[in-house]
Amino acid sequence: MKRLLAAAVLALGLAGVAHAAIDTYVFANDAERARFRELTQELRCPKCQNQDIADSNAPIAADLRKEIFRLLEEGKDDQQIIDFMVDRYGDFVRYKPALNAKTALLWFGPAGLLLAGLVVMAVIVRRRRAAPTDGSDALSPEERKRLDHLLEAKTDD
């Protein structure tokens, strides 16, 4: 009984690890394995769009992993493999899209917005600083008189 329980607990432990898609590829060396991991994590699954192809269980993702493995074995470099995928599936498959006219807004948009915000802030701060502090803030003679009166009334108590 105890042994059965232990086996069940161990099996539960395994279940946690089993969520990632598993294929068995034999790599020539660790560097190649690392490249495979990097590439599959940088390419997006066209079917299940919020997963990379390393993570996805969709048949198309498995096909693409197989294809990447094949291309690695053929000795293609990372850029060639990414180009191969982009040729077929478009810029969309890259989680790190290439920088071109179509994606410029994507790359520079956030920085541009930040910059615009900073400029607006700087303008506002400068204007406030430049606003006249003499005269407008100072009390007019009537106000001064009234203030004196109020203060005196206070001390009289």
Partner 1 sequence: MRRGLMLVPLALFLLVVVFLYRGLYLNPAELPSAMIGKPFPEFSLPSVQGDKTLTRADLLGKPALVNVWGTWCISCRVEHPVLNKLAEQGVLIYGIDYKDDNAAALKWLAEFHNPYQLNIRDDDGNLGLNLGVYGAPETFFIDAKGVIRDKYVGVIDEAVWREQLAARYQALIDEARP
3-state helix, strand, coil in the chain (%, to 5): 65, 5, 30
Cβ atoms of 91 and 98 within 8 Å: the answer is: yes
Provide the token pair at 108.
């520079």
Provide the token pair at 36.
């495979």
Question: Which position has the token pair 């790359």?
Answer: 107
CB of 58 to partner 1, least distance (A): 8
Cβ contacts of 59 within 8 Å, gap of 6 or more: none
Interface mask (CB under 8 A) for partner 1, residues 26-55, using x and -? --------------------xx-x------
Q: Which of 51, 55, 89, 107 binds partner 1 (CB under 8 A)?
A: 89
86 binds partner 1 (CB under 8 A): yes
CB of 89 to partner 1, least distance (A): 5
88 binds partner 1 (CB under 8 A): yes
92 binds partner 1 (CB under 8 A): yes
CB of 2 to partner 1, least distance (A): 45
Return d(Cα 71, Cα 81) in angstroms, integer: 7
Query: Would you tell me which residues interact with partner 1 (CB under 8 A)?
Result: 46-47, 49, 59-60, 63-64, 67, 86-92
